[in-house]
A and B are shown apart, each in its own frame.
Chain A
Amino acid sequence: MVSVNPITSGISKLYQSCFVKPFVKLSECSPMKAGYGSYRLNNRRIIDGISIASIILKDGVGCYMYVNQSLNNKSIPDDKRKFVAALDLTNGGLMILAQILMHMTISNKLIQSKMFNRILGKKFDRNTSKMIYAILKNTDKYKNVSQRAVNEALNKYKGEVCDAFGSLTSLIAATTVGKRIIVPFIATPLAGIVEKKMNKNTNDNCVDSETKNTYDPSKHCNPKDNKHKNVKAGHSENVSGTSSGNLLNSFKKI
Chain B
Amino acid sequence: MADHPFPLSKDELLAAYRRMRTIREFEERLHIDFGRGDIPGFVHLYAGEEAAAVGIMLHLHDGDRIASTHRGHGHCIAKGVDVTAMMKEIYGKKGGSCEGKGGSMHIADLSKGMMGANGILGAGAPLACGAALAAKYRAKKGQPSDVAISFVGDGASNQGTFLESLNLAAVWDLPAIFVVENNGYAESTSRDYGTAVDSYVDRAAGFGLPGVTVDGTDFFAVYEAAGEVIRRAREGGGPSLLECKMVRFHGHFEGDAQTYRAKGELEDIRANRDCLSTFKAAITGAKVVTDAELQAIDHEVLGLIERAVTAAKAAPLPTAADLTTDVYVRY
Q: Do A and B bind each other?
A: no
